[in-house]
């Protein structure tokens, strides 16, 4: 993995971080960009898709500050570059897109990657997300919008939680159909049984979750996967530690579980946000 000084100069930090993460994911999977790019799929070489979740595009603000000072500096801030840079470096010819659905960006990227594999748009996909706190403008915005925790920490499902703290992070996974992964002798960390996406519709605000919509999307995923929620022992939740969002998430989970069982106390719930903060576009 090598980036020339000129290439590094024109990349924003999220581009560099995601590109490096993809290289490490490929290395961990036992592939190089050359070996994966040369695999033939549906008659095309290098038919590998790249899906990158991202939501903040603030690197350009540094260029704006310099321009105010009289320095004609323009900085890149195109989210599409995050995915396209990977496809360019690796010579991949499958779909290449940045995905911005706010805090669900990385999970939506994985959802779209699974759809791309199922539809034949790509045989292999790399999906994930990146989140870097590049500029203080983000913290000003979170404070003004009452999103930031007054205590400086996330308290997932905790009493008195009133907001979250952003966490920087990056992650990427290599996705293949299970039978192909088994045939190729790949190291398999997990199996995605089903994915589902929806929106809460009109509530008290588009950042306010809808328990009925959440229950509906969970039920759809259970049915598609063939999983009975009674067999689930742990759920890694969104759990940002807000007084409004956390109870609604619990209500949605309870409603979806009640379609299958009346039992109580069999499924634990938690959120890594209490340990590392809210990864926002990389949270999934």
Q: Tell how strand 48-53 and strand 124-131 pair up.
A: parallel
Cα atoms in the Cβ-side hemisphere of radius 13 Å centred on 241:
27
Give the model's confidence band at 206: pLDDT under 50 very low, under 70 low, under 90 confident, else very high: confident
Query: Residues with catalytic annotation?
Result: 103, 238, 278
CA separation for the pair 109, 54 (Å, rounded): 9
Q: What's residue 1's pLDDT?
A: 64
Confidence category of residue 228, pLDDT binned at 50, 70, 90? very high
Two structure tokens written together for 47: 């038919």
Query: Which residue, 166, 189, 137, is CA-closest to 241?
Result: 166
Q: For residues 30 and 186, is the Cβ–Cβ distance under 8 A?
A: yes
* Residues 147/164, Cβ–Cβ less than 8 Å: yes
Residue 39: per-residue pLDDT: 62
Q: Please name each of the domains of the chain with its CATH number.
A: 1-132+168-188 (3.40.47.10)
Residue 75 pLDDT grade (very low, low, confident, very high; cuts 50, 70, 90): confident
Both structure tokens of 43: 């008659």
pLDDT band at 2 (very low <50, low <70, confident <90, very high): confident
Q: Which residue has the higher pLDDT, 74 or 237?
A: 237
Asked whether residue 164 carries a pLDDT value surpassing 90, the answer given is: yes
Contacts of residue 2, Cβ cutoff 8 Å, sequence gap at least 6: none
pLDDT level of residue 9 (50, 70, 90 thresholds): confident
In the chain, % of residues over pLDDT 70: 96
- Between the two ends of the chain, the Cα-to-Cα distance in Å is 25
Task: Quickly list H helices, 78-129.
Answer: 80-90, 105-119
**Would the pLDDT of 3 be above 80?**
no
Specify the pairing of strand 169-175 against strand 268-270: unpaired
Angle at 180 between CA 175 and CA 183, to 5 degrees: 130
* CA triple 8-169-34, angle to 5 deg: 55
Task: Compare 46 and 257 and report the one with higher pLDDT.
Answer: 257
pLDDT tens track for 100-159: 999 999 999 999 999 999 998 898 999 999 999 999 999 999 999 989 999 999 999 988
Distance CA 167, CA 276 (A): 6
pTM above 0.85, yes or no: yes
Buried b vs exposed e over 94-109: b needs ≥16 C-beta within 10 Å?
A: bbbbbbbbebbbbbbb
10 pLDDT exceeds 80? no
pLDDT digits (tens, 9 = 90+) for 11-50: 889 999 999 999 999 999 999 888 886 665 555 566 899 9
């Amino acid at each position: 993995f090598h980036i020339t000084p000129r290439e590094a100069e024109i990349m924003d930090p999220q581009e560099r971080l995601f590109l490096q993460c993809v290289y490490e994911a490929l290395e961990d999977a036992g592939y190089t960009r050359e070996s994966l790019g040369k695999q033939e799929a549906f008659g095309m070489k290098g038919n590998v898709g790249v899906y990158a979740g991202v939501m903040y595009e603030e690197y350009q603000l540094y260029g704006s500050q310099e321009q105010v000072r009289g320095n004609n500096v323009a900085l890149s801030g195109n989210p599409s570059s995050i995915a396209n840079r990977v496809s360019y470096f690796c010579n991949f010819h499958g779909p290449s897109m940045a995905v911005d659905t706010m805090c669900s960006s990385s999970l939506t990227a994985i959802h779209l990657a699974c759809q791309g594999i199922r539809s034949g748009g790509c045989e292999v996909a790399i999906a994930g997300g990146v989140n870097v706190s590049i500029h203080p403008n983000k913290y000003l915005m979170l404070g003004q919008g009452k999103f930031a925790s007054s205590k400086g920490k996330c308290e997932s499902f905790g009493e008195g939680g009133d907001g979250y703290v952003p966490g920087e992070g990056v992650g990427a996974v290599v996705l293949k159909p299970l039978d192909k992964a088994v045939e190729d002798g790949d190291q398999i960390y997990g199996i995605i049984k089903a994915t589902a996406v929806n929106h809460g519709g009109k509530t008290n605000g588009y950042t306010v979750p809808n328990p009925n919509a959440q229950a509906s999307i969970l039920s759809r995923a259970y049915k598609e996967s063939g999983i009975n929620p009674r067999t689930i022992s742990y759920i890694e939740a969104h759990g940002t530690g807000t007084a409004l969002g956390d109870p609604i998430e619990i209500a949605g989970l309870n409603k979806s579980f009640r379609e299958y069982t009346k039992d109580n106390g069999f499924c634990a719930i938690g959120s890594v946000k209490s340990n590392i903060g809210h990864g926002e576009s990389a949270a999934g």
